[in-house]
Amino acid sequence: MAPGLSDKCVLSYGAFPDIANDFSQQSLLMPGGAVVNGDFKNVMPVDLADPQQIQEFVDHAWYRYPDDQLGRHPFDGITDPWYNPGDVKGSDTHIQQLNEQERYSWIKAPRWHGHAMEVGPLARTLIAYHKGDAATIESVDRMMSALKLPLAGIQSTLGRILCRAHEAQWAVSKLQYFFDRLMTNLKNGDRAHR
């Protein structure tokens, strides 16, 4: 069974610009995109700068906005902690069961064009895989084959852990790439801070 929204709606802003401070999709080494309604054949573009596309909501999080029912773009977000566990089984310090109809998390809830979205390593991996990123496809296929699981098996609690490991491995593989670029720049006299 897929945890959260990972089989329906996933969002990745993209990460690691190849060109300093250029967050265009062409520059991002980890691609961005959005999938809604489980249509992984149709990864849609994401414009992180567009406040109409992306908002974060806190109506179920332990944060406050001036109006908790309205989302805010991440650039305009407010991180005003407000721990109030509400109606719980147990005590405020020894919670046995939270009421998920109230506030229950330190995580803001992202929406893309109004759709609740799964974000994080699993979402980033799914987006990269379905956008055809060769390194991601090779890594994910190898992991799933070793576990004798179909690709859909990645949309699980185990899959979340595998995606964290995949991202760590991916980041290590990029260290040599960035180091080589740094050395080339230094050898060519480029010591600019970017």
Per-residue confidence of the chain (194 residues) as pLDDT tens digits?
455 666 789 999 998 888 888 888 889 999 999 999 999 999 999 998 899 999 999 988 999 999 888 899 999 989 999 988 888 888 878 888 888 888 888 899 999 999 999 999 999 999 999 999 999 999 999 999 999 999 999 989 999 999 999 999 999 989 999 999 899 999 999 877 66
Looking at residue 90, its pLDDT comes to 87
Q: Is residue 97 part of a domain?
A: no
102 domain residue, yes or no: no
Q: What is the pLDDT of residue 25?
A: 84
What is the extent of the structural domain holding 43? 10-51+117-187
Query: How many domains are there within the chain?
Result: 1
Specify whether the CB–CB gap between 182 and 34 falls below 8 A. Answer: no
Residue 157 identity (one-letter amino acid): T
Residue 33 lies in a domain: yes
Q: Tell me what pLDDT residue 5 has.
A: 60
Q: Where are the alpha helices (DSSP H) in the chain?
A: 121-130, 134-146, 157-187
Which pLDDT score is estimated for 80?
92
Question: Which pLDDT belongs to residue 45?
Answer: 95
Distance, CA of 123 to CA of 146 (rounded, Å): 21
Name the 3-class secondary structure at 123: helix
Within-domain flag for 15: yes
How far apart CA 67 and CA 157 sit, in angstroms, is 33
Q: Tell me if 157 is assigned to some domain.
A: yes
Is residue 60 in some structural domain?
no
- With CA atoms as reference, report the closest residue to 119 among 163, 162, 76: 163
Determine, yes or no, domain membership for 162: yes
164 is a domain residue: yes
User: 103 with 61: CB under 8 angstroms?
Assistant: yes
**Checking DSSP bridges between strand 33-35 and strand 10-12, what pairing results, if any?**
antiparallel
